[in-house]
């Protein structure tokens, strides 16, 4: 008598929704196949939810695997055993996650459970303690992922308008061009929505729709009073947790008042309280935000070597993970609030170098890499050119203690040279696609190639030594 094949459902999602999301999908699918289990993976990528899980699939699933750094609709998983992990673990530790799913010993998920049975309290309390920091991170990344399209669209449009001259948007300037002025206006409008959207989706990830309106208004106020991204973060979390508390204290309202509660009461109180809070604390937050921006911009001129090392190490440390995103968001923030394209250049360079290191190593030291690695290495030329650091992950994951330091050194070289060359990148995404818009574009390419070649030679020599050592052992 044969036993039923185990079946799992999974959700993957990363802040940008470009690489990690689909790498985790592939890794989990392959791991489940090797374990003799069936799996369906829903991806929460840049274009939204794809391969959405059906109610029937969730109902028959033996385990839910949540490998996501974005907010996910959790109500549907109520009553199912569930594994929580970062999208990075979905990429690097898929086999381990599937093994846990096969064991079937995970706790059952309860959505907003009001009463926890005594025998489940220790596990529930432990999960809550461990999940607090992760919840904050997911909320931040939910804001970042929804903000990025506005950043990219606005930044690129503004950069394109500069083709007609740096003052081509100004009707009083001799450089004025109506097409450029229109592009500049569209770009500025898109940029102006960054903080409100960022704040709204932080709040939304905490308290769903009730938090969205209060968060959006909080973000508008943060922009209006000059509190910027720092104000947006504070407003987002304040709005999210305040509205979550409001939902808790109004949970006993009768169903007949649900429309009054959701359409009138919650938005009114949320906007009022968050608005008063931001207007009261706004000047202090704005001063802190300004001080932080001035310090970061000053470091770029006072000590470009130190800044290059910091940005390079952050960007290459986890290749698209939270540390990398912290550097990217800082660059975006300076670009949006101060028009600082120099800092953005260093950040972009530091993320383009790691996949280039892999590409050069697999070409120059081809015989020391497996055929599958050689093919993946060639793809990294394209990933590097399009500002996708995640292409280096499979190589780093195989030997992180040696490969990641090489990538960090290489990215630091590239970023430092970019700062020394005074390269200015006026758009927050695109890689070499935006090369015509870059100030000192040739020097920028030299900085990227310098970091890539240096790292490629070091990594290639390491693989050669490793290969020769293995041959001698045989």
pLDDT of residue 82: 92
In the chain, count H helices and then E strands: 18, 5
The answer to whether 442 and 345 have CB atoms below 8 angstroms apart is no
Query: Bridge-partner residues for 85, per DSSP?
Result: 67
Q: How confident is the model at residue 125, as a pLDDT?
A: 41
CATH fold of 7-113: Rossmann fold (3.40.50)
CA distance 257 to 255: 5
pLDDT at 334: 78
Q: d(Cα 352, Cα 445) in Å, to the nearest integer?
A: 10
Helices 266-302 and 228-249: crossing angle in degrees, nearest 10, is 150
Give this prediction's pTM.
0.67
Residues of the chain with CATH 3.40.50.2300: 7-113
Q: Which helix (H) or strand (E) holds 27?
A: helix 20-34
pLDDT at site 15 = 66
Two tokens, residue 457:
């030679």
pLDDT at position 8 is 93
What pLDDT score was predicted for residue 134? 65
User: From the first residue on, what is the mean pLDDT of each consecutive set of 10 residues in the chain (474 residues)?
Assistant: 76 74 87 91 80 89 88 85 86 89 88 44 42 72 79 78 79 87 88 88 88 92 84 91 89 79 88 92 82 71 82 84 76 75 89 94 90 84 84 81 92 94 84 85 95 95 86 62
Residue 438 DSSP symbol? S
What's the pLDDT score for residue 112? 61
Q: What is the pLDDT of residue 2?
A: 46
d(CA 432, CA 442): 11
Region of 341 on the Ramachandran plot (φ > 0 left; ψ -120 to 50 alpha; else beta): alpha
In this structure, the strands spanning 38-45 and 7-13 are: parallel
Strand-pairing partners, residue 353, are none
* Cβ neighbours, 10 Å, residue 108: 13
Residues known to be catalytic: 14
The CA distances from residue 365 to 108, 172, 340, 361, 459, in Å, are 49, 57, 39, 6, 9
Distance CA 133, CA 350 (A): 27
Rg (the chain; Cα; Å): 24
148 neighbors 198 (Cβ within 8 angstroms): no
């Amino acid at each position: 008598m044969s036993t039923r094949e185990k079946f799992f459902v999974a959700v993957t999602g990363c802040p940008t929704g470009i690489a990690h999301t689909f790498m985790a999908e592939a890794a989990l699918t392959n791991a489940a196949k090797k374990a003799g289990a069936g799996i369906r993976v829903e991806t929460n990528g840049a274009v939204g939810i794809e391969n959405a899980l059906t109610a029937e699939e969730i109902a028959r699933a033996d385990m839910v695997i949540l490998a996501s750094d974005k907010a996910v609709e959790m109500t549907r998983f109520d009553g199912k055993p569930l594994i929580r992990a970062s999208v990075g673990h979905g990429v690097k530790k898929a086999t381990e996650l599937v093994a846990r799913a096969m064991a079937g010993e995970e706790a059952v998920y309860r959505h907003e459970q009001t009463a926890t049975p005594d025998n489940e309290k220790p596990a529930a309390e432990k999960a809550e303690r461990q999940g607090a920091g992760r919840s904050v991170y997911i909320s931040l990344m939910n804001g970042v992922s929804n903000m990025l399209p506005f950043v990219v669209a606005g930044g690129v449009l503004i950069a394109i308008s500069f083709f007609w001259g740096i003052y081509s948007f100004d009707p009083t300037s001799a450089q004025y061009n109506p097409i450029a002025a229109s592009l500049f206006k569209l770009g500025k409008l898109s940029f102006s929505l960054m903080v409100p959207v960022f704040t709204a989706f932080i709040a939304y990830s905490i308290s769903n729709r009730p938090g969205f309106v209060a968060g959006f208004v909080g973000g508008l106020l943060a922009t209006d009073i000059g509190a910027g991204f720092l104000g947006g973060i504070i407003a987002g979390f304040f709005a999210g947790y305040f509205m979550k508390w409001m939902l808790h204290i109004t949970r006993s309202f009768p169903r007949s008042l649900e429309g009054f509660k959701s359409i009138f009461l919650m938005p009114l109180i949320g906007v009022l309280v968050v608005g008063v809070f931001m207007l009261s604390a706004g000047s202090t937050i704005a001063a802190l935000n300004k001080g932080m921006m001035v310090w970061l911009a000053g470091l770029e001129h006072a000590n470009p070597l130190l800044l290059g090392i910091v940005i390079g190490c952050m960007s290459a440390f986890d290749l698209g993970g939270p540390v990398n995103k912290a550097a990217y968001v800082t660059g975006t923030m300076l670009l949006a609030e101060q028009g600082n394209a120099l800092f953005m250049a260093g950040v972009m360079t530091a993320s383009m170098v790691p996949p280039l290191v892999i590409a050069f190593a697999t070409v120059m030291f081809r015989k020391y890499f497996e055929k599958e690695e050689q093919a993946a290495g060639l793809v990294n030329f394209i990933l590097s050119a399009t500002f996708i650091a995640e292409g280096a992950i499979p190589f780093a994951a195989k030997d992180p203690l040696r490969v990641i330091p090489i990538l960090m050194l290489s990215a630091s070289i590239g970023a430092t040279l970019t700062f020394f060359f005074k390269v200015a990148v006026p758009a927050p995404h695109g890689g070499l696609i935006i090369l015509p818009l870059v100030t000192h574009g040739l020097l920028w390419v030299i900085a990227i190639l310098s970091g890539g070649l240096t790292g490629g030679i070091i990594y290639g020599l390491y693989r050669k030594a490793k290969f020769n050592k293995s041959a001698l052992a045989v």
